[in-house]
Amino acid sequence: MSLRHALLGLLADRPMSGYQLTRAFDGSLAHVWSARHSQIYPELARLRDKGLIDLVDEGPRGRKTYAATPEGIEELRRWMLETDGDRGGRDPAYLRVFFLWLLEPADAAAYVRRLAEHHRTTLARYEAAAAEGSPTTARERAFRVALEAGIRHERALLDWAGWALHELEPSR
């Protein structure tokens, strides 16, 4: 169950509310995991029941801020090293690429161009994030390492899209 550990990981860094966690899944974490608030709030309640997180503050508008407990961090560390059971990633965008042959060449090319556009914007966003300030803490350095994976991934697929457009030309 990765959602649980994603929440623990975020809360191990700093205390956050369910609302802030929801927004974290729309940000830098979006390409590796995501979740809606309707899944997050009940999961936070379960994590609290198990003593893996603590309610550390209550603010305006009913805001509840949680932090990971030592037991929570322990559980997260355990999960980090327990790699088997990882199932292959799921990616509808690249599932479609397997079936491009069913489209008219013009539609297939348009699809690949749209993918390229998407990779281009994401890459720019990541590169901008990487450019601002150099990491100092272990946490910041690890984040930079994760970001680099995203950058190389986006760059590789952007290059691929260019190659693919050439390869899919009907004339060839």
Partner DNA sequence: GCCTCCATGTAATTGGTTACATGATTCT
Partner DNA sequence: AGAATCATGTAACCAATTACATGGAGGC
Of 149, 158, 69, the closest CA to residue 114 belongs to: 158
With CB under 8 A as the contact rule, the residue among 34, 113, 125, 127 that binds its own copies is 34
List of residues 6+ apart from 63 with CB closer than 8 A:
17, 19, 57
> What is the rounded CA–CA span in Å between residue 40 and residue 59?
18
160 scored as a contact of its own copies (CB under 8 A): yes
DSSP-derived secondary structure for 12-66 = HHS-EEHHHHHHHTTTGGGGT----HHHHHHHHHHHHHTTSEEEEEE-GGG-EEE
How far is residue 70 from each of residues 51, 78, 140, 156, 166, measured CA to CA in Å? 9, 12, 21, 39, 54
Q: Which stretch binds its own copies (CB under 8 A): 44-52, 56-64, 123-131, 139-147?
A: 139-147
The nearest distance, CB 21 to its own copies, in angstroms, is: 14
The nearest distance, CB 25 to DNA, in angstroms, is: 9
C-beta closer to its own copies: residue 38 or 62: 38
172 scored as a contact of DNA (CB under 7 A): no
10 scored as a contact of DNA (CB under 7 A): no
> What is the rounded CA–CA span in Å between residue 33 and residue 27?
10
With CB under 7 A as the contact rule, the residue among 14, 37, 77, 78 that binds DNA is 37
59 scored as a contact of DNA (CB under 7 A): yes
Q: Which residues bind its own copies (CB under 8 A)?
A: 2, 5-6, 9, 12, 29-34, 73, 76-77, 79-81, 83, 86-103, 107-108, 111, 114, 137-139, 141-146, 148-149, 152-153, 155-157, 159-160, 163-164, 167-168
